[in-house]
Amino acid sequence: MTALPLILTVFVACAVEAVEALTIVLASGLTREWRSTFQGMAAALVVLAVIVAVLGPTITLLPLTALRLVVGALLAIFGLQWLRKAILRATGYKALHDEASAYLREVAAAKQAAVSSRRGIGDWYAFTLSFKGVLLEGLEVVFIVITFGANQRNLGAAVIGAAAAVLVVTVTGIAVRAPLARVPENAMKFAVGIMLTSFGTFWGAEGAGVAWPGNDAALLVLVPVVALVALGYTFLFRPRPGSGAVARSSEQVVSP
């Protein structure tokens, strides 16, 4: 497999997470204080970079078969979680992720919290809000970067995809100075769920000893089949007229 599908998958997955992290950072910076917000963001980025630097090369030392079995299983479970949530959102059983309302929720909470200095940080609330937001959203990025990069023995390409996504979202966020509510986040999450599930299934089965018909080319069939099944379920589980099904669960800002 070439590096392009790897870079694109990681790029889209990371862009979604970066958009959510940006919402939290903007809410913290614009409502509270930028200096502490940037300190929190920088601290989280350092932690994430250390995780990639330590785990990435370590995990590639594992034998490829064992790596594919474990990582494939984790990726399939993780991807199914994304896909399940995306289908529930598409069918209206779960509230769509809305960056504008997520931003307003964070701003309201940030305005109520008292200002306190701690450990040399001017506004501890802004620091922790930014730190937690970037770290939690970033952990999903790290998970995807490490699993995809290690399995393809191309951690560099996965890092490039992730870094490009973070850069594009950051630059856009600075330019518009508002949450990126127009990004088709729910559709992107649906697509990422399909990719994670497909790659997880492919690698997991390979790790279990399977020889896919057509080898890597099987992915070219598996991805569309997973997409078709997911779309089929979206159609099948859509609320029937008069059933009264509505989005019945609101969500936290930090969620896949």
Partner 1 sequence: MKRLKSIGAFWYDFVVGDDWRVAVVVVAALALTALLVHAAGVNAWWLLPVCVFAALGWSLRRATR
128 binds partner 1 (CB under 8 A): no
The answer to whether the beta carbons of residues 38 and 128 sit under 8 Å apart is no
- Number of residues that make up the chain: 256
- Which 170-229 positions form the footprint of partner 1 (CB under 8 A)? 197, 201, 204-205, 207-213, 218, 222, 225-226, 229
**CA 195/CA 226 separation, integer angstroms:** 8
87 binds partner 1 (CB under 8 A): yes
Question: x-or-dash pattern for partner 1, window 40-79, by CB under 8 A?
Answer: -----------------------------x--xxx-xxx-
Over its C-alpha atoms, the chain yields an Rg (Å, rounded) of 19
149 binds partner 1 (CB under 8 A): no
48: left (phi over 0), alpha (psi -120 to 50) or beta: alpha
Q: What is the distance, to the nearest Å, from the Cα of residue 98 to the centroid of all Cα atoms in its chain? A: 15
- In the chain, DSSP finds a helix count (H) and a strand count (E) of 8, 0
**CA 149/CA 154 separation, integer angstroms:** 5
Question: What is residue 118's three-state secondary structure?
Answer: strand
Q: How far is the CB of 21 from partner 1 (least distance, A)?
A: 16
Q: How far is the CB of 177 from partner 1 (least distance, A)?
A: 31
Q: How far is the CB of 20 from partner 1 (least distance, A)?
A: 15
Region from 112-120, 124-132, 136-144, 169-177 binding partner 1, contact rule CB under 8 A: 136-144
Residues near partner 1 (CB under 8 A): 69, 72-74, 76-78, 80-81, 83-85, 87-88, 91, 93, 139-140, 143, 197, 201, 204-205, 207-213, 218, 222, 225-226, 229-230, 233, 236-237, 245, 256
